[in-house]
Amino acid sequence: MLVSALLTSVGINSGLCVVFFTLYSILRKQPSYYELYIPRLLAEGISKRRSRFNLERLIPSPGWLKRAWQMSEEDLLSISGLDAVVFMRIITFSLKVFLFAGVIGIFVLLPVNCTGDQLKDIDFEDLSNNSLDVFTISNLKSGSLRLWAHFSAVYLVTAFVCYLLFYEYKYISAKRIAYLYSSKPQPHQFTILVHSIPVSAGSSVSETVERFFLEYHPSTYLSHMVVHRTSKLQYLIKDAKMLYKRLTHLQSDPNQKYKHVGLFGHKVDLVDHYGKKLENVEENLRLERLEVSLAAEEVRAAFVSFKSRYGAAVAFHMQQSTNPTQWITEQAPEPSDVYWPFFSSSFMKRWLSKIVVIVACILLTILFLIPVLIVQGLTNLNQLEIWLPFLKSILTISFFTQVITGYLPNLILQLSLKIVPPIMQFLSSIQGYICHSDIQKSASNKVLWFTIWNVFFASVFSGSVLYKISIVLDPKNIPARLAVAVPAQASFFIAYVVTTGWTSVSSELFRIFPLFCYLLKRPFSCCSNDEFEVPALRYHRDIPRILFCGLLGITYFFLAPLILPFLLVYFCLAYIIYRNQFIHVYEPKYETAGKFWPIVHNSMIFSLLLMQAIAVGLFTLKKLSMASTLIFPLAVFTLLFNEYCRKRFLPNFIAYPAEVLIKRDREDRSDPTMAEFYDQLVTAYEDPAMLPIHFSQNADSLNQPLISDAAVRR
Amino acid sequence: MLVSALLTSVGINSGLCVVFFTLYSILRKQPSYYELYIPRLLAEGISKRRSRFNLERLIPSPGWLKRAWQMSEEDLLSISGLDAVVFMRIITFSLKVFLFAGVIGIFVLLPVNCTGDQLKDIDFEDLSNNSLDVFTISNLKSGSLRLWAHFSAVYLVTAFVCYLLFYEYKYISAKRIAYLYSSKPQPHQFTILVHSIPVSAGSSVSETVERFFLEYHPSTYLSHMVVHRTSKLQYLIKDAKMLYKRLTHLQSDPNQKYKHVGLFGHKVDLVDHYGKKLENVEENLRLERLEVSLAAEEVRAAFVSFKSRYGAAVAFHMQQSTNPTQWITEQAPEPSDVYWPFFSSSFMKRWLSKIVVIVACILLTILFLIPVLIVQGLTNLNQLEIWLPFLKSILTISFFTQVITGYLPNLILQLSLKIVPPIMQFLSSIQGYICHSDIQKSASNKVLWFTIWNVFFASVFSGSVLYKISIVLDPKNIPARLAVAVPAQASFFIAYVVTTGWTSVSSELFRIFPLFCYLLKRPFSCCSNDEFEVPALRYHRDIPRILFCGLLGITYFFLAPLILPFLLVYFCLAYIIYRNQFIHVYEPKYETAGKFWPIVHNSMIFSLLLMQAIAVGLFTLKKLSMASTLIFPLAVFTLLFNEYCRKRFLPNFIAYPAEVLIKRDREDRSDPTMAEFYDQLVTAYEDPAMLPIHFSQNADSLNQPLISDAAVRR
């Protein structure tokens, strides 16, 4: 790739970013787009839809930039929770790393590379006509002593990243503890989920749970709530909601109140018609709910609440039963975070579904390459003409040829990568996780490894799937192969950061896909006051994206330091845009209190190790075997550092220590509102499908709360 | 190897076994050998040293065989504890497996192999002149459909072994729980060891521990005992003991009471002399003990006792401190099992020493090959003559040549393997384990992997160390290489079972090495009534030996079924001999309640996987690719089975579940002896070096128990 090509790409994408920013600055001020760009403020009632027109609305203003810039971490914590803070810290962490690496890369490595003389000399007259390779390590001769500069850079950056990783882990760990101390008593702190409950014939799950916990945790047990199979109920509720929506719509619009029905067209009062239908559905709901609350539909799982956080923690940490595959305990999620649809209760089912999902993920990750390769085959036009002969006439037109070969493959690849996060989320959801946060956490991991495999390795090692697998199965030669293949792709990944990176983050600001959906939907939408949902940030989509850019930066900083300025721009954009989105768009749906951080830590450690493996291979290739030997202690140090961090910090991200829980419990003892809290706790984990709903006029009978045999208050 | 050679070897070794059995039957009845062959009965006072001579003593009698045969598992449990039962179950487990495999091997696979025609036909006229290879799978042609018999055998035996493994795991797991229910309250059930205690300036470890547990475990905390640095004390005690021994010896033997001392030879009352010396040492001891009990010599670790087993378990399972590298808890061992000499208290020290030991073990295991290879170079006489020219004249004598080439290498190898268990035990002891049982458990694992690497892999893949490592680093080709190398060594391992296996187990009966020491020591020993110690079975020496024979059996049963009868003889011998030793010789020094079983399970699973890898390679080599593909599901099944067992049984081998502990605690509540037990519990974990000793006549001052500031009874 020539410098001019890169500059063109940078120009186009900078232009795109400016356009996005300007359009955003205008559109966000239009009341009809409030739903899209400031749904949070709208939902909180801070912004009202003003229909009054003024000229100011059409002039782009950078006020939002200032607000996003000025927000402090405390503000972010208070409006979006600890998860948002952790998310922003991924970006600031990357910024710090690449500022440090950038200084080394631009001021030391880049001059060293440029003055090498392996390739033809740099042409200072016409800079844009140089190959990008001149700026990479490929420009240094074998055995050149200048490679020691790269060697030192590898050591320095590894040390700096490890230092920062340690510091961040410590900081977020402390934040987690502080979060527990400052938070009000919350149901999930006092509750565990027990599953694989062994039920003897003749007794219900509810009775069994109560008997067990009264016997073994008499002093701390408070209440329990058995989980029911409610898929049928959920279906009925969905029906009722839709009918209700249509009904209210009809009532507000008198024109549509009457309608000709059937061929012979006698007029029917539609309000009456739908009202009756709704009543029917509600009656069904009531009956179904009664049936579900009976023992027959009980799942062998229950939320068990305790009188103290410590009590719940003890029950969680101890193996309860002689058979470790029964009475399995796990921490309860927040009530709103529970993923009700899928509740597999038996140990074997969960275990097997987990294994199946892992296998499915691995297969998907490996085999996804096949369609990608076929799509990339589009660049080979002759092949295409043989497959699809009727295209021959079209392909003679140069424009189509350019589109098909130059743009289509990349577009198809990007679009197909877009569907990966939902697929991974689906796979995680059938893996047996019980809450949305765990599902997203697991999906983040899956998407990350998917991206590393399908973008990094697939681009680096071009060839068949089997060839790629054979590389992984031959661990001894990985560094050597990486050393040959990775530097060759430097210009590709620089372009990747500029195109995919910059575009994805500015389209995040502009919300292109939601905008698209919104514009499509609007003509059919009945009124602008329709209900709308404030979205939540999809961590499993955005975290892997940012981490992958981090991986690119760390692996390429010493090979092609030219990647660093572009990465810095990317992270600066991400910094300001995500802060803005947290203020205006995204609302947290759950709070894991920073449990996403270990994913970031692991990804960074993997990046470091990959970088070191490349360095080993490269120094061997460049006949500087002393340097390649000296990288090994660094890899050992990185592994030991990771192991130490696992021991030092990870436990705090799995569960809170006894010390903290006991202190927090003591604080509560003097709190007069605890009695009320315990009352709420008893019903906190009621399945939403089991709660009464208020739709039809004569639905009073439904408003009586069901006396659930599961909610036993002691 | 020819059949005749094997028969010779079997003959010689059977003869040896008979000689050992006969000699044992005689010697065990000689009073002077009681210490060696029935120390347990002697120590328990069941057998007295009768010096009365009768003829019966010289006639070998098989009474001990009958006793060993008739003993039931309950008897074994009551005299030697659950660990001995588990040890014997390893042998019965192997017997069952190889009986099953033996039936298949001898009646199906052996005839199939013999009637193959790859090698020259079997010579039924002169059976002993056939090569052993005729009986192995090598005798089948490539692509022969008879190989499906071997394929079915692999499936059948895997299924049978897995079934048995499951059954045994379940059985021993249940035994463990039953053991807890039936055992009396024991100090280690109520106690945990806390280390890495953070001590603030100005307060002692003892105060810190008390403050912490009074604050966070006020209802269950009972007392604690801080660990002290006592290496100096232990040295002094050893001195005192030696002096006391000499003194009593002098007092009993009036001839030696006076002795000329010095050049000029004035007579000195030696009793008086040593008495004074002893008093001196004891005075030092008293002073040192006072010093040690001060805070200055406190180690930052303490045994903390609780009022209930459940209380101790809760403190063990919960992470105590916000910093997971402080207040680390582990289960306390039995007081007599504590390994006092090594008490590294800080998290970092322990972690680093663990890493160093693991690295040392791996290096030792890999590099041990080098001396082995040098020794095996002895078979190459020309090489030896070049190295050591002076040997030339000796080597012309045919006898020496035969000894040096035929016997010496094997002897040196066997002797050097003998020193491995103590080395591994030493390495485990500096790894940071706090009790002898953990050290032996860890050493068992190390010795097992050492044996597999240095006997199995070293024999199978002859070549340099680097060549062997390169094989392991190339996982893809392992099955193919195994398939070529393993069957070629069949006759070597059959001979190995007959020579090393049979001899080691019958020398275990005859106790050759202790006998040797005893005979050497006896002339210098002053009196036959000397103190003697009842030995304990060294599990880390004997378990790996048995498991290695199991590995040989499982990997070779379908390659060379001829190995099975010899293995069966080996396990029968082991069965009867170890039962006898448990009755007469070994006394348990600790009780892990079956924690050795997971090692056996893992070893068996590894054997199965190795066998399957060989089968994959072999079927590929024999051009039966269908069969080699169909082995993969079996390997997946084996891995899943192992994973399931880990989840189903392993937790019970790490700690007892809440259910069991609470039930057991409730039983104790009505026990009137508990108050007394709690009194003992407070001082149960006093370092033996800190206990008063009674040697010199005026040592009364020492008999006053030290008021240890550590033992705080609440």
Instruction: Read off the pLDDT of each residue in B262-275 and give the average, rounded to a whole number.
Output: 66
Structure-token pair, residue A398: 């140069």
At B493 the pLDDT is 87
A644 CB neighbours in chain B (<8 A) are: 351
- Lowest-confidence segment of A43-52, A174-183, A220-229, B609-618 by average pLDDT: A43-52
B644 CB neighbours in chain A (<8 A) are: 351
- Could you say which of A313, A324, A655 has the minimum Cβ distance to residue B651? A324
B311 CB neighbours in chain A (<8 A) are: none
State the smallest CA–CA distance between residue A345 and chain B in angstroms: 16
In angstroms, the CA A270 to CA A252 distance is 12
A108-151 confidence digits (pLDDT tens): 998 888 887 776 666 666 666 667 777 888 888 888 888 999 99
In angstroms, the CA B42 to CA B36 distance is 10
Same domain, B320 and B438: no
Contact A318 B314 (CB under 8 A): yes
Rounded to the nearest 10°, the torsion over CA B175, B176, B182, B185 is: 170
Contact A644 B351 (CB under 8 A): yes
State the smallest CA–CA distance between residue A430 and chain B in angstroms: 20
Same domain, A451 and A575: yes
- Please check the confidence at residue B640 and state whether its pLDDT lies above 90: yes
A651 CB neighbours in chain B (<8 A) are: 319, 324
In angstroms, the CA A550 to CA A571 distance is 9
A649 CB neighbours in chain B (<8 A) are: 324
Instruction: Read off the pLDDT of each residue in B690-697 and give the average, rounded to a whole number.
Output: 64
Q: Name the band, by pLDDT with cuts 50, 70 and 90, for residue B316.
A: very high
Same domain, A135 and A255: no
- Could you say which of B177, B215, B644 has the minimum Cβ distance to residue A322? B177
B69 to chain A, any CB pair closer than 8 A? The answer is no
B317 CB neighbours in chain A (<8 A) are: 314, 317-318
Q: Name the band, by pLDDT with cuts 50, 70 and 90, for residue A254.
A: low
In angstroms, the CA A19 to CA A17 distance is 5
Which of B659, B661, B663 to mutate to test binding with chain A, by most A CBs within 10 Å of its CB?
B659
Structure-token pair, residue B65: 């065989």
Name the residue of chain A whose CA is nearest to B175's CA: A322
Name the residue with tokens 């089975």. Answer: B641
In angstroms, the CA B36 to CA A611 distance is 62
Structure-model confidence comparison of residues A542 and A488, the more confident one = A542
- Would residue B354 count as lying in a domain? no
At B704 the pLDDT is 39
Structure-token pair, residue B2: 């020819």
Across chain B, mean pLDDT equals 83
B540-567 confidence digits (pLDDT tens): 999 999 999 999 999 999 999 999 999 9
Contact B216 A659 (CB under 8 A): yes
Same domain, A550 and A570: yes
State the smallest CA–CA distance between residue A19 and chain B in angstroms: 49
At A714 the pLDDT is 35
Radius of gyration of chain B (CA): 30
Contact A318 B320 (CB under 8 A): no
B323 CB neighbours in chain A (<8 A) are: 648
At B7 the pLDDT is 84
Structure-model confidence comparison of residues A79 and B345, the more confident one = A79
Q: Name the band, by pLDDT with cuts 50, 70 and 90, for residue A506.
A: confident
- Lowest-confidence segment of A89-98, A272-281, A603-612, B694-703 by average pLDDT: B694-703
Of how many residues is chain B composed?
A: 714
Name the residue of chain B whose CA is nearest to A476's CA: B473
Domain count, chain B: 2
The CA–CA distances, whole Å, from B440 to A106, A176, A406, B339, B688 equal: 57, 40, 66, 11, 21
- Lowest-confidence segment of A647-656, B265-274, B305-314 by average pLDDT: B265-274
B90-112 confidence digits (pLDDT tens): 999 999 999 999 999 999 998 88
- Would residue A690 count as lying in a domain? yes
Instruction: Read off the pLDDT of each residue in B689-693 and give the average, rounded to a whole number.
Output: 72
Q: Which of B664, B681, B689 is nearest to B184 (CA)?
A: B664
A477 to chain B, any CB pair closer than 8 A? The answer is no
State the smallest CA–CA distance between residue B556 and chain A in angstroms: 27
Same domain, A164 and A223: no
- Would residue A406 count as lying in a domain? no
At A264 the pLDDT is 57
Structure-token pair, residue A111: 């001059």
B347 CB neighbours in chain A (<8 A) are: 647
- Please check the confidence at residue B295 and state whether its pLDDT lies above 70: no
Same domain, B133 and B258: no
Q: For a pLDDT cut of 70, what percent of chain A falls above it?
A: 85
- Please check the confidence at residue B528 and state whether its pLDDT lies above 60: no
- Could you say which of A320, A651, A662 has the minimum Cβ distance to residue B658? A320
At A39 the pLDDT is 84
Contact B319 A216 (CB under 8 A): no
Structure-token pair, residue B410: 């094997």
Of how many residues is chain A composed?
A: 714
A620 to chain B, any CB pair closer than 8 A? The answer is no
ipTM of the complex, rounded to two decimals: 0.85
A369-391 confidence digits (pLDDT tens): 777 777 666 656 666 667 667 76
Note whether B581 and B567 are within 8 A (CB): no
B474 CB neighbours in chain A (<8 A) are: 474, 476
Contact B325 A476 (CB under 8 A): no
At A146 the pLDDT is 87
B341-379 confidence digits (pLDDT tens): 766 667 888 888 899 999 999 999 888 877 777 766 665
- Would residue B275 count as lying in a domain? yes
At A84 the pLDDT is 94
Note whether A48 and A557 are within 8 A (CB): no
Listed in sequence order, the residues at least 6 apart from A21 whose beta carbon sits closer than 8 Å to its beta carbon are A60, A506, A509
Longest C-alpha distance within chain A, in Å?
Answer: 94
- Would residue B46 count as lying in a domain? yes
A408-424 confidence digits (pLDDT tens): 666 777 777 888 899 99
- Please check the confidence at residue B489 and state whether its pLDDT lies above 70: yes
The range of the structural domain enclosing residue A528 comes to 3-185+434-659
A659-706 confidence digits (pLDDT tens): 999 999 999 888 888 889 999 998 888 887 777 766 655 444 344 433
- Would residue A343 count as lying in a domain? no
B355 CB neighbours in chain A (<8 A) are: 640
Same domain, A22 and A144: yes
- Please check the confidence at residue A713 and state whether its pLDDT lies above 50: no
Q: Which of B99, B89, B93 is nearest to B164 (CA)?
A: B93
Listed in sequence order, the residues at least 6 apart from A665 whose beta carbon sits closer than 8 Å to its beta carbon are A308, A309, A310
Q: For a pLDDT cut of 90, what percent of chain B falls above it?
A: 38
A631-646 confidence digits (pLDDT tens): 999 999 999 999 999 9
Structure-model confidence comparison of residues A167 and A505, the more confident one = A167
Q: Which of B97, B108, B307 is nearest to B213 (CA)?
A: B307
pTM over 0.90: no
Question: What residue type is assigned to position B55 of the chain?
Answer: L
Buried b (16+ CB within 10 A) or exposed e, B303-336: bbbbbbbbbbbbbbbbbbbbbbbbbbbebbbbbe
Same domain, A180 and A199: no
- Would residue A459 count as lying in a domain? yes
Instruction: Read off the pLDDT of each residue in A305-327 and give the average, rounded to a whole number.
Output: 93
Same domain, A181 and A200: no
- Please check the confidence at residue B156 and state whether its pLDDT lies above 80: yes
Same domain, B69 and B179: yes
Buried b (16+ CB within 10 A) or exposed e, A115-151: ebeebeebeeeeeeebbbbbbbbbbbeeebebbebbb
Q: 3-class SS at A221?
A: strand
At B711 the pLDDT is 36
Question: How many Cβ pairs within 8 Å bridge chains A and B?
Answer: 90
Instruction: Read off the pLDDT of each residue in A593-612 and give the average, rounded to a whole number.
Output: 95
Contact B475 A476 (CB under 8 A): no
Instruction: Read off the pLDDT of each residue in B318-336 and give the average, rounded to a whole number.
Output: 91
Contact B659 A470 (CB under 8 A): no
B355 to chain A, any CB pair closer than 8 A? The answer is yes
Residues 252-291 of A with CB under 8 A from B: none
Structure-model confidence comparison of residues B565 and B236, the more confident one = B565
- Residue B24's CB is within 10 A of a number of other CB atoms, namely 21
Same domain, A262 and A123: no
- Could you say which of B216, B648, B650 has the minimum Cβ distance to residue A662? B216
B658 to chain A, any CB pair closer than 8 A? The answer is yes
- Please check the confidence at residue B699 and state whether its pLDDT lies above 90: no
Same domain, B145 and B221: no
In angstroms, the CA B228 to CA B691 distance is 13
Instruction: Read off the pLDDT of each residue in B563-588 and give the average, rounded to a whole number.
Output: 92
- Would residue A403 count as lying in a domain? no
Contact A475 B473 (CB under 8 A): yes
- Could you say which of B324, B470, B662 has the minimum Cβ distance to residue A648? B324
Q: Name the band, by pLDDT with cuts 50, 70 and 90, for residue B517.
A: confident
Contact B640 A355 (CB under 8 A): yes
- Could you say which of A319, A320, A475 has the minimum Cβ distance to residue B655? A319
Rounded to the nearest 10°, the torsion over CA A472, A475, A480, A481 is: -10
Contact A319 B658 (CB under 8 A): yes
- Please check the confidence at residue B647 and state whether its pLDDT lies above 50: yes
Q: Name the band, by pLDDT with cuts 50, 70 and 90, for residue A172.
A: very high
In angstroms, the CA A370 to CA A368 distance is 5
B72-87 confidence digits (pLDDT tens): 999 999 989 999 999 9
- Please check the confidence at residue B587 and state whether its pLDDT lies above 60: yes
A652 to chain B, any CB pair closer than 8 A? The answer is yes
In angstroms, the CA B506 to CA B574 distance is 8
B178 to chain A, any CB pair closer than 8 A? The answer is no
Residues 181-240 of B with CB under 8 A from A: 215-216
